[in-house]
Chains A and B, each alone.
Chain A
Amino acid sequence: MSSSAEKVYSNRPAPKKDETRVSLFDRLRYYLPTIIIFFAVLLLWEVLVRALQIKQFIMPAPSSIFEAFRASLAQMIALGVYTGTEALGGFILGCGLGIAVALATARWTAARETLLPLAIAANSVPIIAFAPIMNNWFGITNQTSKMAIVAVITFFPMMINMTRGLTLVDPSALELMRSYAVNEWTVLREVRIPNSLPYMFNAFKICSTLALIGAVVGEFFGGTRDALGVYITQEAALFRFENSWAAIVIACLLGIGFYVLIVAIERLVIPWHASVRKTEE
């Protein structure tokens, strides 16, 4: 008789602690095809460059890029840190302001309705075109000028996404809160902000890519040789293309690292959201 009672309870599983996480093995298995394709492409590249005897300055082989990378590893890391700092600084500034403005206008429909179309318009402008102006304002050899570019580029997507997240709330959820006779601040804390988190992480992902583009392209317009963008252009001008490529690899690694970091934080912060959670297969 006790077994029947147990049976009832076994139909009601206690949630497993890491139900929302994926085991390391599963994750490896999931990414294995990607990894295989990545190395296959590298191999094909190497073989093609050698077989067709493609000139170094057109397309260096992966092996010579790797060699250049290894030979000046310390310098590569320094370049990555320099430009990464610009991207991160600008990202924090731009996203921070974007979130702040979205929160400030969440309550005032009038302010939001005037600002949002402007932001959407501004977002469709190629802001990177302003890079020379920023270099002029904040100093061309200065990290601040690149951060300013990144901040401007990341501000608009963040503000637009965040505003959507704060306002596209289930109307019934708002009625429920109204039935509890709560103030606007409680609605913001309990409904609007949690609702906006998936939108915010979405914007973080978009902005992480934009931040690196902004920083590197900003450097193309000038700066010191500590900067990735400057290094890439100068080495290319000197026909040392394998060095340019090595620096491009650093830029790629920075971008991927940035993105992966955001995804990891997202998993921790919003495990309940459909983009993150894992249901049993």
Chain B
Amino acid sequence: MSVVSISSVNKIFGKPGENQTIALKDIDLQIEQGEFISLIGPSGCGKSTLLRIIGDLISPTNGTVLVNGKPAPQARENREYGIVFQAPVLFDWRSVEKNVQLPLEIMGKSPHERTARANEMLELVELNGFQKHYPYQLSGGMQQRVSIARALSFNPPLLLMDEPFGALDEITRERLNAELLDIWSRTKTTIVFVTHSIPEAVFLSTRVVVMSARPGRITQIIPIDLPQPRSGETRESPRYYELITQVREGLRGGEGMKE
């Protein structure tokens, strides 16, 4: 059974008769357990919209989205996914550890379990020792790691990430990419990851979903057959460059199809 199963999903913003935007058109996508899927495409092609539909933050105009075999709203009620936005979205009034514990508090876990779990997660994102800090005392990259720790804290089977490293510099981004892959291999979480960076998509993913705009649709799905685990060497292999070229051409092809 697929973790995410999307069939014939359309999303139209705006009421009939008004200025309508066809954000997504005829989207079909199956995501299997343990996959790392990247969504890539030009700005406005509906990547965020698709991610938000998977997470039931908005509903599709028509079509079905199943998460672990259940309709997306049901999966949301069951708290089956963690979400990471482009901005860290930490609560200023909570310390780092309290931010990570937020979902656990909501789910009624005991204080003891919460602390243990938060410490474990902060260890995972290499922020041990920052438990009592407040968000304003951290750098942007550290804040984003806290938000990843928060998303992972309750062990969601699905992780949705919308350009989580978009605002970071290249070096921090590469380090967090390596960290994310490490987390992914350890937690066996399925990840759907939105990015604008072709190398990032190729380096991280098991499959890259190439989208094009107006109307937003999937033009190509490129399997990434680079060996696991990925490392610095991966970035130097000829196959890595071949795949980058392939994705780039996929993106161009999508552009070319525009009238």
Rounded to whole angstroms, the CA-CA distance of A42 and B157 in the bound complex is: 70
Contact of A170 with B89 at beta-carbon distance under 8 Å, contacts A176-B83, A181-B79 already known: yes
Contact with A along B64-97 (1 / 0, CB 8 A): 0000000000001111011101010101110000
Total interface residues in chain A, CB < 8 Å? 26
Flag the segment in A63-71, A234-242, A250-258, A271-279 that touches B. A271-279
Asked whether B34 is an interface residue with its Cβ less than 8 Å from the other chain, the reply is no
CB-CB contacts below 8 Å: A159-199 with B = 170, 172-173, 175-176, 178-182, 186, 190-191, 194, 197
Rounded to whole angstroms, the CA-CA distance of A197 and B93 in the bound complex is: 10
Number of residue pairs spanning A and B whose beta carbons lie under 8 angstroms apart: 66
Chain A residue contacts of B93, Cβ below 8 A = 194, 197, 270, 272-273
Q: Is the interface of B mostly helix, strand, loop or mixed?
A: loop
Are B136 and A173 within 8 A (Cβ)? Answer: no
Rounded to whole angstroms, the CA-CA distance of A279 and B137 in the bound complex is: 8
Contact of A182 with B106 at beta-carbon distance under 8 Å, contacts A172-B85, A173-B91, A175-B83 already known: yes
Asked whether B129 is an interface residue with its Cβ less than 8 Å from the other chain, the reply is yes
Contact with B along A16-34 (1 / 0, CB 8 A): 0001000000000000000
Interface residue from B91, B103, B107, B134 paired with A194 (Cβ < 8 Å): B91
Flag the segment in A7-15, A51-59, A126-134, A259-267 that touches B. A7-15
Nearest B residue to A173 via CB reads: B89
Are B136 and A181 within 8 A (Cβ)? Answer: no
Asked whether B102 is an interface residue with its Cβ less than 8 Å from the other chain, the reply is yes
Asked whether B57 is an interface residue with its Cβ less than 8 Å from the other chain, the reply is yes
Are B76 and A181 within 8 A (Cβ)? Answer: yes
Rounded to whole angstroms, the CA-CA distance of A190 and B129 in the bound complex is: 25
Rounded to whole angstroms, the CA-CA distance of A197 and B92 in the bound complex is: 12
Rounded to whole angstroms, the CA-CA distance of A182 and B79 in the bound complex is: 10
Are B89 and A172 within 8 A (Cβ)? Answer: yes
Rounded to whole angstroms, the CA-CA distance of A277 and B107 in the bound complex is: 31
Contact with A along B219-258 (1 / 0, CB 8 A): 0000000000000000000000000000000000000000
Contact of A272 with B89 at beta-carbon distance under 8 Å, contacts A179-B76, A180-B103 already known: no
Chain A residue contacts of B130, Cβ below 8 A = 12
Interface residue from A181, A190, A270, A279 paired with B102 (Cβ < 8 Å): A190
Q: What is the minimal beta-carbon distance from A189 to any residue of chain B, in angstroms?
A: 10
Rounded to whole angstroms, the CA-CA distance of A269 and B228 in the bound complex is: 49
Rounded to whole angstroms, the CA-CA distance of A14 and B95 in the bound complex is: 13
Chain A residue contacts of B91, Cβ below 8 A = 173, 190-191, 194
Asked whether B55 is an interface residue with its Cβ less than 8 Å from the other chain, the reply is yes
Nearest B residue to A271 via CB reads: B134
Are B83 and A186 within 8 A (Cβ)? Answer: no
Rounded to whole angstroms, the CA-CA distance of A176 and B91 in the bound complex is: 11
Rounded to whole angstroms, the CA-CA distance of A191 and B89 in the bound complex is: 11
Rounded to whole angstroms, the CA-CA distance of A15 and B129 in the bound complex is: 9
Q: What is the minimal beta-carbon distance from A101 to any residue of chain B, in angstroms?
A: 23
Chain B residue contacts of A178, Cβ below 8 A = 57, 76
Nearest A residue to B73 via CB reads: A181
Interface size class of B (residues with CB under 8 A): 20 to 34
Q: What is the minimal beta-carbon distance from B209 to any residue of chain A, in angstroms?
A: 22
- Which of B89, B91, B93, B130 counts the most chain A CB atoms within 10 A? B93
Are B137 and A15 within 8 A (Cβ)? Answer: yes
Asked whether B133 is an interface residue with its Cβ less than 8 Å from the other chain, the reply is yes
- Which of A9, A170, A172, A194 counts the most chain B CB atoms within 10 A? A172
Q: What is the minimal beta-carbon distance from A205 to any residue of chain B, in angstroms?
A: 19
Interface residue from B55, B132, B137 paired with A179 (Cβ < 8 Å): B55
Are A272 and B57 within 8 A (Cβ)? Answer: no
Rounded to whole angstroms, the CA-CA distance of A270 and B133 in the bound complex is: 14
Are A181 and B77 within 8 A (Cβ)? Answer: yes
Rounded to whole angstroms, the CA-CA distance of A9 and B93 in the bound complex is: 25
Q: What is the minimal beta-carbon distance from B80 to any residue of chain A, in angstroms?
A: 10
Contact with A along B110-150 (1 / 0, CB 8 A): 00000000000000000011101111110000000000000
Chain B residue contacts of A186, Cβ below 8 A = 106
24 A-B residue pairs with CB within 8 Å: A12-B129, A14-B132, A15-B137, A19-B137, A170-B89, A172-B85, A172-B89, A175-B57, A178-B76, A179-B76, A179-B81, A180-B79, A180-B102, A182-B106, A186-B106, A190-B102, A190-B106, A194-B91, A272-B134, A273-B92, A273-B93, A274-B136, A279-B136, A279-B137
> What are the 9 tightest A-B residue pairs by CB atom distance, in nearest-first order?
A12-B129, A194-B93, A172-B89, A15-B132, A181-B77, A179-B83, A172-B85, A180-B106, A272-B92
16 additional A-B residue pairs with CB within 8 Å, beyond A170-B89, A179-B83: A172-B85, A173-B89, A175-B52, A175-B85, A179-B55, A179-B57, A180-B79, A180-B103, A180-B106, A181-B76, A181-B78, A186-B106, A190-B106, A272-B134, A272-B135, A273-B92
